[in-house]
Chain A
Amino acid sequence: MKKPALERPVLLDVQDITRLYGPAKGCEAIDFQLHAGEVLGIVGESGSGKSTLLRVLAGLEAPDAGRVVYRRHAGEDVLDRDEAELDLYAIGEARRRALLRLEWGLVHQNPRDGLRMGVSAGANIGERLMAQGQRHYGQLRATGQEWMRQVELDPGRIDDAPRTFSGGMQQRLQIARTLVTRPRLVFMDEPTGGLDVSVQARLLDMLRTLVRQLGLSVVLVTHDLAVARLLAHRLMVMRRGQVVETGLTDQILDDPQHEYTQLLVSSVLTP
């Protein structure tokens, strides 16, 4: 038996990121690497700085210090070496926006932040495709229906506006809208946060399947350790703006080393 190939190229290289609004408010000196195909969970209580960090990583908010480097062709044949490494906040605003729209994806906790509530479900799904240059109406519509099926929405409702959907359906529509362009890297902020428990379970299973089928790399922010256990390969535990512990998800939850992680894990209620 041969040794397994366990090395994975680095997709996102986060170097010493600091974004502070006040003392211990925000995130400070964050260093980590996301490897291709990995789901990294960032866990912590509210106010731990995990959402601030996600906003910096996702290109929405410039850090006070540090760099976010995207290795664009990690694991692929490099065609244009100039563009192989992108320093997220060193490239221009237009270039950054194009990157976010074309190669990355962001799933907000509140689907209203990620959807256009006034236009149809189909138009929501088609928007990123049109931004990539697709113009063929029939093709866009067919892709829209296919994605609605994929996220378990009734394709017959393609012309309905998202405001007529339930919260769980809106969240699934937001996921379809984000993943339709097959982004390599997806950021998710409490994707199951505002949903009823029964709806959450269904969405979690769907996300697991999509991550596997599309080979996504994901940075997931959640305060829910059960969600983290099901979705994340690896965890980063944050407290007061700093990372206190990182490791394999099972290790963090079954053999936490840091005092704070032990407290967090032992405080979870199990029904």
Chain B
Amino acid sequence: MHSMTNARPRLTVSGLHKQFLLHGQGGLEIDVMRDLSLTLHAGECLVLAGRSGIGKSTLLKMLHGDYCIDQGRIRLHFDDGTLDLETLPAYAWHGLRRDVIGYVSQFLRVVPRVAAVDVVMEPLLARGADEAESRQRAETLLARLNLPERMWQLPPGTFSGGEQQRVNIARGFIGEHPLLLLDEPTASLDATNRDVVIALIGEAKARGAAMLGIFHDEDVRDRVADRLLPLDDSLGARTAFTPNVQETLS
């Protein structure tokens, strides 16, 4: 069991609610989250569990600023004070994502024409890091994730799902953010690459990163989780709709 005695909270979430109001569907209201609270410590990986559609990805998207925070509090804790995300102005999110909150989504949002290695190193360049050094680190990560070297200079648009996911993982881990949100990073990986991701998560813990993740693979979940947070129907969705506005509208 992971020791919590010395760990300090890096993130506290309290009384979080989320509702989607779909104007195009006659004002349909979909409750996807009710009164969710959690605490996440430095050096810990908390895994969200629960059936599909219960609001696991929704929570990650609220923490990343993709979804509005309707009600409740999300606080980040630093040595010199706290930061409330529900009142953070939009212009401040850009810097927060660059330096503090990293996100590994299931799918790579492809920037056309940009080579895989450039996609991976961009988070470092955004902080003003040296280009040669950033490239070196990107190549090291891609090699670790067994992406063949001949693919590094190619745009990942035409890669397979598993290859794109590895580019995405490298991009997500390269910045060594103190808070990492992991939305099924191992979903389309083979056993060898799953092991690499598990090792990357272990290294992130060792440097004190706090992680909140979704893993459907039970083996992976058992190996990375310090704690599980089960989401059930009393906390989560009251309807069977999937909490994605775009999909629901289209």
A136 at the interface (CB under 8 A from B): no
**Interface size class, chain A:** 35 or more
CA distance A144 to B94 in the complex (A): 33
- Complex interface bits, A233-258 against B, C-beta within 8 A gives 1, otherwise 0: 11000000000001110110011111
Answer whether A212 and B94 are a contact pair too, CB < 8 Å, given A1-B178, A202-B113, A266-B249: no
**Total cross-chain contacts (CB, 8 A):** 99
CA distance A83 to B41 in the complex (A): 49
Name the distance in Å between B38's Cβ and chain A's nearest Cβ: 20
Name the distance in Å between B107's Cβ and chain A's nearest Cβ: 12
B67 touches A230 (CB 8 A): no
A6 at the interface (CB under 8 A from B): yes
- Complex interface bits, B233-250 against A, C-beta within 8 A gives 1, otherwise 0: 000000000000110011
**B24 partner, pick from A7, A248, A262, beta carbons under 8 A:** A262
Chain A residues, Cβ within 8 Å of B125: 212
B111 touches A230 (CB 8 A): yes
- Complex interface bits, B56-67 against A, C-beta within 8 A gives 1, otherwise 0: 000001001111
B24 touches A254 (CB 8 A): no
Which of A234, A246, A259, A262 has most chain B Cβ within 10 Å? A262
A8 touches B91 (CB 8 A): yes
A1 touches B93 (CB 8 A): no
**A248 partner, pick from B23, B65, B79, B80, beta carbons under 8 A:** B65
B191 at the interface (CB under 8 A from A): no
- Complex interface bits, A1-29 against B, C-beta within 8 A gives 1, otherwise 0: 11111111000000000000000000000
**A254 partner, pick from B66, B80, B99, beta carbons under 8 A:** B66
B78 at the interface (CB under 8 A from A): yes
Answer whether A233 and B94 are a contact pair too, CB < 8 Å, given A202-B113, A212-B125: yes
B68 touches A251 (CB 8 A): yes
A205 touches B246 (CB 8 A): no
CA distance A1 to B109 in the complex (A): 30
Which of B83, B99, B178, B245 has most chain A Cβ within 10 Å? B245
Name the distance in Å between B210's Cβ and chain A's nearest Cβ: 10
Name the distance in Å between B204's Cβ and chain A's nearest Cβ: 14
A208 at the interface (CB under 8 A from B): yes
How many chain B residues have a CB neighbour from A under 8 Å? 38
B24 touches A265 (CB 8 A): no
CA distance A258 to B250 in the complex (A): 16
Query: A-side binding surface: helix, strand, loop or mixed?
Result: mixed
Chain B residues, Cβ within 8 Å of A38: 91, 94
**B68 partner, pick from A233, A255, A262, beta carbons under 8 A:** A255
B113 touches A201 (CB 8 A): yes
B95 at the interface (CB under 8 A from A): yes
Closest chain B residue to A201 by CB distance?
B112
- 214-236 of chain A: CB within 8 A of chain B: 229-230, 233-234
A55 at the interface (CB under 8 A from B): no
Chain B residues, Cβ within 8 Å of A256: 245
Closest chain A residue to B23 by CB distance?
A259
Chain A residues, Cβ within 8 Å of B1: none
- 63-105 of chain B: CB within 8 A of chain A: 64-68, 78-81, 83, 88, 90-96, 99-100
B61 touches A254 (CB 8 A): yes
CA distance A35 to B80 in the complex (A): 25
Chain B residues, Cβ within 8 Å of A246: 90
Chain B residues, Cβ within 8 Å of A208: 111
A79 at the interface (CB under 8 A from B): no
**Ordered nearest first, which 7 A-B pairs have the shortest CB separation?**
A201-B112, A259-B23, A266-B249, A6-B92, A3-B78, A255-B67, A250-B66
With A8-B95, A233-B93 given, can you name 15 additional A-B contacts, CB distance below 8 Å? A1-B79, A3-B78, A6-B96, A8-B91, A204-B111, A246-B90, A248-B65, A248-B66, A250-B64, A255-B61, A255-B66, A255-B245, A256-B245, A262-B24, A266-B249
Which residues of A pack against B, CB within 8 Å? 1-8, 35, 38, 201-202, 204-205, 208, 212, 229-230, 233-234, 246-248, 250-251, 254-259, 262-263, 265-266
A sample of 30 cross-chain residue pairs with beta-carbon separation below 8 angstroms, ordered by A number, consists of A1-B178, A4-B96, A4-B100, A6-B83, A6-B95, A8-B91, A8-B92, A205-B113, A205-B114, A212-B125, A233-B91, A233-B93, A234-B90, A247-B68, A248-B93, A250-B64, A251-B67, A251-B68, A254-B67, A255-B66, A255-B67, A255-B68, A257-B21, A257-B68, A258-B23, A262-B22, A265-B246, A265-B249, A266-B245, A266-B249
